[in-house]
Structure 1
Amino acid sequence: MATQLSLRSLLDNDKLTGPNFSIWLRKLKIVLEHERTMYIITDPTPELPPANARVAVRDAYQKWTSDRITVRCIMLAAMSDEFSRRFESAQPNEIIQVLNESFGVPDDDKRYSTSCCIFNAKLREGASVTDHVLYMIELIERLSKLGFSLHEQLGKDAILNSLPDSYRPFLTHYRMTKPVLNFHGLLGLL
């Protein structure tokens, strides 16, 4: 019998206490993604199928119900006793909503801090350009997930602007040839 890897232990050391909500939520999402149940906290609740619904529709609803119970138990087990008692009768999406309202960072703050990181980033001389560009791409994607997509060319400009003076010859050549590249293509050139 094959053993199944469980990432639930990620939540053991960081039980939800309130101020650690963002760390807890990030780890919860890793666990739920691994268990293929993330949809329980991201998708709307499906409607109860009518009695005469097709078997496939009823089975899908039954799977959703079963997954919701699993996710709810994972969440409650990963909370301090105080939070576990407070949310013992709540459903996963309700729990996330209340916690986000209480402890989540407002999107404006996230957008501002992410934008500042993008436009103020500078690669240190001798540091890994690959790590730096991947970090910049991650920031640009994070900004997009917040609903503020950065035009691709502006994102590439931010990456190029973050390079130190030792990349000046590359920048001159890049501007002269004007290659059509996405972020990862730009990384390949660097």
Structure 2
Amino acid sequence: MILVIPDLRFVLMEECPHFPTKYASQSVRDAYDRWTKANDKARLHILASMSDILSKKHEIMITARQIMDSFREMFGQSSI
């Protein structure tokens, strides 16, 4: 699942960077874009791999980390 995809795992450990301002450097914009694209992929992979009931409950969550934290609360296991 998502935990074994190295290019996506970082979204479970890093907070989303702030939305870049109009004057942000290209590296700041790139970091934000990389994080949001990886989060979208991770979130979709996680939602697609769970039951319909769990998917419905978690589809309103914006980040993959929120979903994994919710699992930890529900099932009492580490999110990573």
Same-fold call, TM cutoff 0.5: yes
2:70 maps to amino acid = V
Separation in 1 of the partners of 2:60 and 2:77?
Answer: 25
Say if 2:17 and 2:31, in contact at 8 Å, map to a contact too: no
Provide the TM-score with structure 1 as the length reference.
Answer: 0.38
Counterpart of 1:81 in structure 2 is: 52
Give yes or no for contact 2:2–2:42 (8 Å, CA) kept in 1: no
Q: How many residues align?
A: 77
Mapped pair 1:55 → 2:26: yes
String of CA shifts for 1:69-96, please: whole Å, max 9, x gaps: 1011000001011111111121211111
| Counterpart among 63, 66, 70 of residue 98 in structure 1 | 70
Is residue 29 of structure 2 the alignment partner of residue 65 of structure 1? no
**Cα deviations across residues 152-187 of structure 1 (Å, max 9, x unaligned)?**
xxxxxxxxxxxxxxxxxxxxxxxxxxxxxxxxxxxx
CA shift, 1:104, in A, is 2.2
Structure 1 stretches of at least 4 aligned residues deviating more than 4 Å after TM superposition:
none
Question: Deviation of residue 28 (structure 1)?
Answer: 3.2
Q: In structure 1, what is the Cα distance between the partners aligned to 2:28 and 2:53?
A: 38
Tell me, which stretches of 5 or more residues in structure 1 are unaligned? 1-26, 107-190
Q: Which runs of 5+ in 2 are unaligned?
A: none
Percent identical: 29
1:26-83 deviation per Cα after TM superposition (whole angstroms, max 9, x unaligned): x4311x22xx110011112211121100112112211111111101100000101111
Q: Which SS does the other structure have where 1:38 is aligned?
A: helix
Q: TM-score, normalization: structure 2? A: 0.84
> Does the C-alpha gap of structure 1 residues 56 and 79 become closer, same or farther in structure 2, counting only changes over 3 Å?
same
Larger radius of gyration: 1
Tell me: higher relative CO, structure 1 or 2? Use CA pairs within 8 A at least 6 residues apart: 2
- Output the aligned Cα RMSD: 1.5
Q: Look up the match of 1:19.
A: none
